[in-house]
Every structure is written in structure tokens, then in C-alpha cells.
Copies of this chain bind each other. A is one copy, B any other.
């Protein structure tokens, strides 16, 4: 009972903001959800209490794990669910004229305040067949939520998993930058990719809108166009640069840069290495350094990395050094990244030695250009000197597998369990309102997930429990858990008295994800032939599934 004496909690009273994308409205659903709602209403069946599970059937990218994401957007969506008069009018226009007006009055009253949502926390490592969300409520209302929920979780989980896989191959020590906005599938394909790649372990994004919406660090310097927009030094209006300590001003930074270029070209160590460098590139670098003397990072492959980009960069970096500034580094966007990064590092180290600049050898080398899991793996095998990767297309569009097969299945209605059969066993649904436990062994890693009926006693630490494969009779194992974690938690209590989880900040979701990934046994995570993680059901649930299956399946007649 709250202060107003009302037992019914309104979700909308929870103060949760609406979805990030204002296009996520109750109309962002399939037309058949409304035709079904009408048929339920017409049969006076719309208020029947239904339980739906949201899950996927197969891990993406040929791997054996998935990171669950998208929950917060679902909670935001239903916490603010309300059909406007305009929307109801549009629905009415698109249903047969024979549909009765009472239905539209019913739609007017829907606010999801009686919908309960149980979910695995966002950022958890999850596996096929395990319900990520269990949604309970009036059957007509929960049906309306199917499409937006699946939409909001499908891509979110897919791209988070993709980011986690890229992080796994790149290794912990590298900086990972998401550069995908321009190639993403639409504006919020880009914005949500930025958000979920950050959760999956990326460090920063180029996407300013995502930086603003989610507080993700921003990164980026300049493009090839910037370099080719310069013709000569004449274009630099103001050539003066104050020293870093502010004590004096170099009136002609351009001359200082040119002096350094000549010096390294003709020094004993580098003589003959550099041919004539491109002057317009040098002008562009110099101009960029004048604008950002403390953040000078240059794209060096507009003309020729080794013959032009790197020497030009070094000349500017050395000139900056004279004034007390330390250049940040370079970005390579084409060519043999392994070779070019090693050659660049060698040169940086030689300059460090020649001019006694202790930071020069350690300057950052960023690589970009159509990187993906395979190219990162190839770079590792070859050996390279890259510190940071900028990854775009393959990451944000999930090029290797562009969709996750998330489904939303009815498992109970009016307290009656329901099963969806299929000739393909992997498509048979697990009926009943269920609980999920993750069982841990003596080591810290998870051993197995077990799904039980809602009212079965939970697995206990130190007590042996039989874990059965849901569909294969012979696959079963006893487990004595050292730690038991219940996975589904209450995020929307509906009209129940359950305590609601608060929505964690993005940073916490990211931390959870990174910790979860580290906790997994390595053989589940490897790229080549990973070991499947086991998902099981209790003995009682196993028996029940198969009882129901036999009950519903028609008996064939061989002729």
C-alpha cells in the first residue's frame, strides 16, 4: 500500500524516462498484434493472464555465448505506454469497419500498469533457450509488447556480443574505438550501436549524439578530406603558437616545422629514408597542430604513409616538442597495418633516441580500415605495433550475422501451461512460468544454467541436483553447486507487491558485462570450436514438458 492507500502501482508513476528514440511508440508493433487484440477482446478473452518468454535459440557469430542487452529500453517503453487519440484513430482506420467501438475504448485505457516484467540483468552473459525476459499480464496487452520488445533486444544483444567478441580478440590492453555511425543501419542503428558497443567493452565512440545521450567518451581527429583540402602553407593565416607553459610565443611555427623536416631528412640516422614529402599534407598537419597543439594526432595515409605521412607527422611533432607539447600519435587507414605500424614504431624509437625525447617511441598508433574479428586475429598472429583500433562497418552492422533470432512465446495462460510444437525440436518451446538458476562450481566460473517450474524448491548450495537436457533423454548430469544465483529479477512489479529492481547506470551495465565475460571458462569463449555452455531443466520440468508434448502432438498414421 503506498501513501495514497492504493495497492496498484502505476508504472508511469515510477518516473522512468521514455525510450531513447522517440519513434518507439505503441504503434511500433506489427499490425497483427492489434487484429489479435481485437479478436481477444471480441471473445472476451483479452484480460486472461498470460505469461510469455523472450529468448533466442542459437548464439550468434558461431560462438557459444551472447551478452544480454536492451532491457532498459524495454522498461522505459512500457513504463510510459499510452496510446494517443491519434494513434487509436489510425488503428481504427486500419481495422475493418465492423470492429466495435468498445474495443477502442479498451485501447484507450491500456497503460501496462498490470504487466509484470522479470528479466536477467542487462550485461549478463546468456545462453540459448533461457528466458531473458518473462512478461506476465493480460494476454492482449502483452501481445502488443511482443514486437517492440523483440526489436529492442535483438539488435542490442547482437551488437553488444559483437563488441565483446572484438574485445576478446583485441586483448585487454588495446583501446577500442567505435567508428561506425556512417555505415550503420540508420540513425539509431548508429546511436544504439555506440551505446551497446560501449557496454560490450569498447572505450569510446566517434558518434557525438551517442556521447551526449549516454556519456560515452568521444574520439576522433581529422579525415583525408582535411588533408587534401590544403594546397600550401600560404593558407595558414595565423602562424603563431604559444609555448605550452605560456612563457613565450613562436611567431612562425610553419618555419619551425620546415626546419625540423629538413633536419630529420638530412640527419645521419635518417638520410635517404625519406623522399620528397607532400607539401599540402605537411600544411594540413601544421594547421591541425596549430588548432590542437595538445592533441595532435594525424591521419598519415592520404598520400604515402612511409614516404610522406610519417616524416611529415614527425616534423610537426618535433616542432611541437620544441614548444613543450607532446604529440599524441598517428592513425593508419589503409595498407598493410602490421607492417606499417612496425615501421612507424621503429622510426618513432629512432627519433626518441636521436633527439632524447622519452615519450616519442611510445606515441600512439591507431589503425582503422574495415577491421573485424578476423583481421584483428590476423594482426595478432603477424605481430604489430597498434595501440588502438577504430572499428566501424563490421562492428555496428554485425556484418558476420546481421540478426539474432529472438522469439517471444506464450508459455502459460489462465494458469494453464502452453507449448509450441514444431517438427524441428530446437523450435519446441519450454512451457510454464519458470525460474532460472545459474550454478557455480568450486572454481569461480558458472557450470550450468537450470530452468525449473515457478514453484519448485530452488537448488541449494552443497546439495546434489539433477540437470537434464530439455529434449534429449540421455543427456543429464548431477551437479553440487557451490553458489546459486537466481537470474530472473523483477523490473516491473505490475499490480503485484514485488520489489522492483532499479535501472542501473550505463557504466554499471558495462562493468557487469566485462566482469561476466572474464568469469566465463575460457573454452566457452574461444573463437575456434568453443565448448557449448550447458542449459538444463529440472527433472520435474523435464517430465512435464514431455507429458504436455505427447498430449498436444497429433498421432500420425503411416500409410
Tell me the smallest distance from the CB of A171 to a CB of chain B, in Å: 25
Given contacts A30-B182, A393-B405, 10 further A-B contacts (CB under 8 A): A28-B190, A32-B206, A44-B237, A45-B287, A91-B208, A151-B187, A154-B184, A228-B419, A278-B552, A334-B427
Contact A31 B397 (CB under 8 A): no
Contact B416 A231 (CB under 8 A): yes
Within 8 A of B (CB), among A156-185: 156, 159, 179, 181-185
Within 8 A of B (CB), among A17-62: 19-25, 27-36, 38-40, 42-45, 48, 50, 52
Contact B22 A23 (CB under 8 A): yes
Residues of B within 8 A of A87 (CB): 212
Q: Which of A142-150, A345-353, A536-544 contacts B (4 or more CB under 8 A)?
A: A142-150
Q: Provide a sorted-by-A list of 9 A–B residue pairs whose CB atoms are within 8 angstroms.
A: A21-B188, A27-B209, A28-B191, A29-B207, A31-B208, A45-B229, A90-B208, A152-B187, A229-B413
Interface membership of A443, Cβ < 8 A: no
Residues of B within 8 A of A416 (CB): 231
Closest-by-CB residue of B relative to A280 is B552
Contact B406 A151 (CB under 8 A): no
Tell me the smallest distance from the CB of A5 to a CB of chain B, in Å: 33
Contact A423 B335 (CB under 8 A): yes
In the assembly, how many copies of this chain are there?
A: 2
Best-surrounded residue of A30, A288, A303, A307 (most CB of chain B within 10 A): A30
Contact A183 B420 (CB under 8 A): no
Contacts A291-B42, A554-B304 given; does A154 touch B181 at CB 8 Å? no
Footprint of B on A, CB under 8 Å? Answer: 19-25, 27-36, 38-40, 42-45, 48, 50, 52, 87, 90-91, 94, 96, 98-99, 139, 143, 146-148, 150-152, 154-156, 159, 179, 181-192, 206-209, 211-212, 218-226, 228-229, 231, 235-238, 275-278, 287-288, 290-295, 302-304, 307-308, 334-335, 393, 397-399, 401-403, 405-406, 408-410, 413-414, 416, 418-424, 427, 552-557
Task: From the candidates B147, B219, B287, name the one contacting A43 in the complex (CB within 8 A).
Answer: B287
Residues of B within 8 A of A287 (CB): 39, 42-43, 45
Contacts A150-B182, A182-B30 given; does A43 touch B290 at CB 8 Å? yes
A218 CA to B96 CA, complexed, in Å: 12
Task: From the candidates B94, B182, B308, name the one contacting A151 in the complex (CB within 8 A).
Answer: B182
A191 CA to B146 CA, complexed, in Å: 16
Contact A181 B147 (CB under 8 A): yes
Contacts A43-B237, A45-B235, A219-B31 given; does A185 touch B397 at CB 8 Å? yes
Contact A182 B24 (CB under 8 A): no
Closest-by-CB residue of B relative to A143 is B225
Contacts A275-B557, A303-B554, A422-B334 given; does A30 touch B189 at CB 8 Å? no
Task: From the candidates B32, B33, B209, B553, name the one contacting A23 in the complex (CB within 8 A).
Answer: B209
A146 CA to B222 CA, complexed, in Å: 12
Contact A185 B402 (CB under 8 A): yes
A146 CA to B96 CA, complexed, in Å: 45
Contact A52 B225 (CB under 8 A): yes
Residues of B within 8 A of A291 (CB): 35, 38-39, 42-43, 99
Contact B275 A21 (CB under 8 A): no
A197 CA to B287 CA, complexed, in Å: 45
Closest-by-CB residue of B relative to A196 is B186
Residues of B within 8 A of A28 (CB): 181, 187, 190-191, 207-209
Contact B334 A35 (CB under 8 A): no
Residues of B within 8 A of A42 (CB): 238, 287, 290-291
Residues of B within 8 A of A183 (CB): 150-151, 154, 403, 405-406
Closest-by-CB residue of B relative to A20 is B23
Contact B152 A211 (CB under 8 A): no
The 5 closest A-B pairs by CB, nearest first: A32-B220, A31-B220, A397-B402, A39-B291, A185-B185
Contact B23 A554 (CB under 8 A): no
Contact A212 B155 (CB under 8 A): no
Contacts A27-B208, A96-B294 given; does A222 touch B34 at CB 8 Å? no
Contact A30 B292 (CB under 8 A): no
Tell me the smallest distance from the CB of A248 to a CB of chain B, in Å: 16
Tell me the smallest distance from the CB of A353 to a CB of chain B, in Å: 23
Contact A398 B402 (CB under 8 A): yes
A291 CA to B150 CA, complexed, in Å: 27
Closest-by-CB residue of B relative to A28 is B209
Contact B44 A181 (CB under 8 A): no
A107 CA to B409 CA, complexed, in Å: 51
Contact A418 B228 (CB under 8 A): yes
Contact A189 B155 (CB under 8 A): yes
Contact B43 A207 (CB under 8 A): no
A556 CA to B146 CA, complexed, in Å: 62
Residues of B within 8 A of A393 (CB): 402-403, 405
Contacts A21-B187, A43-B291, A186-B192 given; does A225 touch B303 at CB 8 Å? no
Tell me the smallest distance from the CB of A275 to a CB of chain B, in Å: 6
Residues of B within 8 A of A557 (CB): 275
